[in-house]
Amino acid sequence: MLYLTLIICFISSILLTPLVKRFALKIGATDKPNKRKVHQKIMPRLGGLAIYLSFLIGFMILSPDNQDALPILVGATIIIITGFFDDLLEISPKWKLLGQLAAAAVVVIWGGIQVLFINLPFGGYLEFGIFSIPLTIIWIVGITNAINLIDGLDGLAAGVSSIVLLTISGMAVMMGDVFVASIGAIVLGSTIGFLVYNFHPAKIFMGDTGALFLGFMISVLSLLGFKNVTVFSFIIPIIILGVPISDTFFAIIRRVVNKQPISAPDKSHLHHCLLNLGFTHRQTVLVIYAISAVFALSAVLLSQAALWGAFFIISILIVAIELLVEKIGLINKDYRPLIKFVRRGMRYAARK
Please check whether residue 50 is in contact with residue 14, taking contact to mean a CB–CB distance below 8 angstroms. Answer: no
Q: Chain-wide mean pLDDT for the chain? A: 86
Mean pLDDT of 150-174: 89
Which residues on neighbouring strands pair with residue 44, listed in sequence order?
A: 30
pLDDT of residue 59: 95
Please check whether residue 158 is in contact with residue 194, taking contact to mean a CB–CB distance below 8 angstroms. Answer: yes
Place 85 in a pLDDT band, splitting at 50, 70 and 90: very high
- pTM given for the model: 0.88
pLDDT of residue 311: 83
pLDDT of residue 163: 93
| Mode of pairing for the β-strands spanning 43-44 and 117-119 | unpaired
Please check whether residue 230 is in contact with residue 75, taking contact to mean a CB–CB distance below 8 angstroms. Answer: no
Mean pLDDT of 145-159: 87
Mean pLDDT of 334-340: 82
Residue 36, pLDDT > 70, answer no
pLDDT of residue 35: 60
Q: Quote the percentage of the chain above a pLDDT of 90.
A: 43
Mean pLDDT of 253-272: 76
In sequence order, which residues have a C-beta less than 8 Å from that of residue 335 and are 6 or more positions away?
257, 325, 326, 329
Place 53 in a pLDDT band, splitting at 50, 70 and 90: very high
The domain containing residue 346 runs over which residues?
A: 2-351
pLDDT of residue 352: 63
Query: What confidence tens digit (pLDDT) does each residue in 95-142 have?
Result: 999 999 999 999 999 998 887 777 666 666 677 888 889 999 998 999
pLDDT of residue 324: 85
CB neighbour class for 120 (10 Å; exposed up to 12, middle 13-18, buried from 19): exposed
Tally the domains of the chain: 1
pLDDT of residue 222: 86
φ/ψ (deg, to 5) at 336? -150, 50
Residue 193, pLDDT > 60, answer yes
